Amino acid sequence: MKHIFGYHVLFLFAVMMMQGCGSKTGKTVSDTDSLTVDSVVDTGLDKHSEAYIRQRIDTIYKTVGKTFYDSEGKEIEYIHSTFNRDSAYCSQRYYALMREAYRICEETGELLYDSDNWVCGQDYSDDWSCRVANVYEITDSTAYVDLIIHNFSDHETTIALRFERDDWYIDDFSPSEDGYDDKHYLRETIRQGLETREKAKAYVGYWGWVGDDCPELLLRLEMSDHGLIVTECNIYRLYGFDKTVATFDGKYLRVDETNYDEETMETKWEFHLYANLDNNGDLKGDCRITHPLASKEYNGPLTLRKDYFKYRDGIKTQ
């Protein structure tokens, strides 16, 4: 009996030591526990274990529901926070693809995502939450995780993980066996954007207005590493727009600039051109102009011809 009693004492002592020291959560470790980083490290769990991966994803997704505050202590919604979750928690190759795709979309004026992958929606509910449902197919470098994200309602989704920089990072938000995953979508966006960039080269040059009932617009477009840029946009050679942005989607060119006074809540000046090349090679479309130096606003059709300049004192070509 003494031997049995001694055995139980040793067993209880070992359990107490594990609870008091080995696990800072105050309980033994199981696959379903939501663990802190310290508790996983202290128990000596492998980073390739299901328990650690669960903890890692739980830690990452808890930051989505975190409350953010500005410099004045005002609460900021998650959707408007400046924290770059993609660079912090996505794999290097996924983040590189995403950045390049975003840059391409700035050139084309396209929208890369119409919802937030992290919250499974365009907005998030006050009771937003995320739960790890399953961890599987763990290898030295990859793993898959099924999530249940509650955002107004429950959404079942899957993420792919990649092991790099001594930890797990999200490598895809929509992995699929047929290869049409999120990375495929990003690669296709980049490929199509590069094709569009080649088409945009036809718009490079000086463009002058054609016609008598529209503003004397002079527009110059050049090609940069980030697509078309506007290097000159002025009216009557008297007033111009120096922060004009050009986007080209493969067919239509947009040139825009708006100066908005936040104090008076009024537009000080604006320029908008939406046009494409016609069968004659002219840039034809619609233009809207408002400028404090202009005698009147303009909103109507406009035709521009490459290397053609018409002034009020006659015709001059270049």
pTM, rounded to two decimals:
0.74
Among candidate residues 132, 167, 196, the one where a domain is terminated: 196
Do 192 and 237 belong together in one domain?
no
Do 33 and 134 belong together in one domain?
yes
**Angstrom distance (rounded) from CA 289 to CA 269:** 8
Average pLDDT, the chain: 83
- The number of C-alpha atoms within 13 Å of 162 and in the hemisphere containing its C-beta is 14
Among candidate residues 165, 196, 227, the one where a domain is terminated: 196
Domain-embedded: residue 9: no
**pLDDT by residue (tens digit) across 94-145?**
999 999 999 999 999 999 999 999 999 988 888 899 999 999 999 999 999 9
Domain-embedded: residue 44: yes
**Region 242-255: what's the mean pLDDT?**
95
**pLDDT by residue (tens digit) across 270-283?**
999 999 999 999 99
Do 185 and 299 belong together in one domain?
no
Q: Which domain holds residue 233?
A: 204-317
Strands (E), 81-180: 129-136, 142-151, 153-164, 167-172
Residue 235 is part of a domain; what is its CATH number?
A: 2.40.128
Domain-embedded: residue 104: yes
